[in-house]
Amino acid sequence: MDLIKRFLNYVSYPTMSDENSDTCPSSEKQLALAKVLLKELKALGLEAKLDEYGYVYGFLKPNTKKIKERVGFIAHMDTSDAVSDTGIKPRELKYEGGDVVLGGTGDRPVVMKASDYPCLARYKGKNIIVTDGTTLLGGDDKAGVAEIVTALEQLIESGEKHGKISVCFTPDEEIGRGADHFDVRGFGADYAYTVDGGTLGEVEYENFNAASAKVVVRGISIHPGSAKNKMVNAASIACEFHNMLPKRQVPEKTEGYQGFFHLTGMSGGTEYAELSYIIRDHDKEKFEAKKQLMRELADKLNAKRGEGTVELIVKDSYYNMKDVLADKMYVVEKAEAAMRECGVEPVSVPIRGGTDGARISYMGLPCPNLCTGGENFHSRYEFVCADDMRKCVEIIKKLMIAK
C-alpha cells in the first residue's frame, strides 16, 4: 500500500486517549486502529499479536544468520486531547509559500500564517498534508506508525537480508502511560527507536525530566456579608499560590534546555479549589529544585493560612533518557549514519517533551527517537510533509538492514 494512502487511512480512526480513565488502553476507540494494524502485520507475514492492554506487537524473523543484532521500532496509536480527533478531513497540497487557508468560511477563514509558523518556509515546493482547521491531523504519531509499516512492507518485498525486527504500537503515550505495560523481554530487541519526532533529520536522545503536580486548597465558606475574619477563600489562595511561582518559567517564555511550570487546569470556588501543573526540566538538579520550590510554597501558605489548607501532590512521570544512553551512543550513531546514507543531515535537538522511548530506555532497552516529518503537533495547525515521510521510510528501512 502507498505510504500516504496508509497514513490517511490511519488518521480516519479517532484514537484520543483519556487521562481520566483507569483502564489500559484508556479509551476503547484505540482498539479499532490496533485491530487494523494487527491485521496488516499478519498480512505482511509477521508473527503478530494484540495483547490485553491494547499493545500491538509484530516480529519479523531474520532471513540471514549474518546479522545478529535485533532492532526494534515503536510508535504510538493515540492522539492528544488538545484538539478534537473526530471527523478529521486531511488534504494534501503543494506548498508554494505564504499563508495556508485550512478551512472556515469566507468571512471567517482558518488560516495557518507563515508569520506565526516560520517552519513553513522549509516546505516550500513540497507536498504537505493539512487539516481543515477544526481538528488535529493525528500525525503524532500515526505518521510514525505508517512509516514503520511501510518500511516493513518495502523490506519484505525487496528480499534484502535482515536480522530479527520487532515492532510495537503502543496506546496512551499522550497521557504518559505508553510504556506502562510494554514487554521489554517479550519484545526481544537489543536496541530500538521510537518514531515519534518532528522535522526530518532529527535524532533525539535528550528529553525533559517530567512530573505532574496537583495543588488542592480547602477553604471555609460563609455569607460574604459576615465574612470578615471567618471566610477562607480557596480560589483566592490558589491564585496566590500560582502567583508565587517564577513568572518567566512557563512554556510560552522558554525554549531549548529551559524548564518550566505549566498550569494545565484550574477549578473550584470558596470551599475547594484545584490547580493542575506539569513540571519540566532537562537538568535533573533543576528538576528536583522545581519540585522542592512547590513544596516550600505550599508549606509557606499553610504556615500563613493554617495547616492542611494547601495539599500538594507531586508524581514523577519520566526522566531524561540521556542519563542512560550516555554509554550506549552507538544506537544514536547508527541512526545518524543511516540518515546520511539516505541524503539527510542528522540534527540532535533536546526534546521539549517526552516519548515512550524515554521510559523504555530506563527499562533497559536503549531507545532514542527518530523524526516523522511532522510539525505543529497537538494543534489544528498540525501538518506532515509527504515527501519527508517517504524519506523517513528510507531511513527506517536502512536501520532494519544495518549490521
Instruction: Give me the active site residues, please.
Output: 78, 173
Residue 268 sits at φ, ψ, to 5 deg, of 130, -170
Q: Which residue is listed with cell 505508553?
A: 178
**E-strand stretches of 243-354:** 260-268, 272-281, 310-318, 347-348
Burial of 332 (0-12, 13-18, 19+ CB in 10 A): buried
Type of residue found at 273 = A
Distance CA 144, CA 151 (A): 11
Give every CB contact of residue 126 below 8 A, 6+ residues apart in sequence. 94, 95, 385, 386, 387, 388
Instruction: Please give the C-alpha separations between residue 315 and each of 210, 287, 318, in angstroms, as whole numbers.
Output: 9, 12, 10
Provide the grid cell at 174. Answer: 499522550
Instruction: Please give the C-alpha separations between residue 164 and each of 40, 41, 63, 261, 265, in angstroms, as whole numbers.
Output: 18, 15, 8, 42, 45
Provide the grid cell at 158. Answer: 525487496
In this structure, are strands 127-130 and 383-385 parallel, antiparallel, or unpaired? antiparallel
Of all helices (H) and strands (E), which one includes residue 176?
none
**How much of the chain is helix, strand and coil, in % rounded to 5?**
35, 25, 45
